[in-house]
Amino acid sequence: MKRFDVELAVGVFVLAGLVCLGYLSIKLGKMEVVGGRGYELQALFPSVGGLKIGSPIVIAGVEVGRVKSIRLENYQARVSMSLPEDLKIQEDAIASIKTKGLIGEKYIEITPGGSEKFLNPGGQIRETQPPVDLEELISKFVFGKI
């Protein structure tokens, strides 16, 4: 009977460890197991240049959401963004793809507009700026096209 108690204790300990590991993986990966509260906005970019699903969305240096999906539509990239429901985005806001550091990860920066009208859930940000293509910029500089 004593051996059964030790095996049971080890089994419970291993199970608790696996649950903790799963919880930490989800939290550190900033994933959502069930749908989070919030709404979705869309934006069309001519190029996303390395932007990935799960990339952060930033306003004034503060992370406010995540990229939910990226798909091709009429030779442009349609990006779906997940934002918290208490955050309202103006109709004339600008969505830009930026890079953290010189060759860091890509993220979307939303620059608020001055309009008093806000985008509805599922709406589209009309003003977008694609990422700067560093290779193209260097080649233009090298070959004197700047």
pLDDT in tens, 51-79: 999 899 999 999 999 999 999 999 999 99
Judge whether residue 103 has pLDDT over 80: no
Per the CB < 8 A criterion, the answer to whether 36 and 82 are in contact is yes
Please, which residues have CB within 8 angstroms of residue 12's CB and are 6 or more apart in sequence? none
pLDDT level of residue 18 (50, 70, 90 thresholds): very high
Average pLDDT over residues 8-28: 86
d(CA 137, CA 110): 24
Domain ranges of the chain: 1-31, 39-131
Judge whether residue 138 has pLDDT over 60: yes
Strand extents, DSSP E, 100-137: 106-111, 124-125, 127-129
Q: What is the pTM of this model?
A: 0.72
Three-class SS of residue 13?
A: helix
Per the CB < 8 A criterion, the answer to whether 54 and 67 are in contact is yes
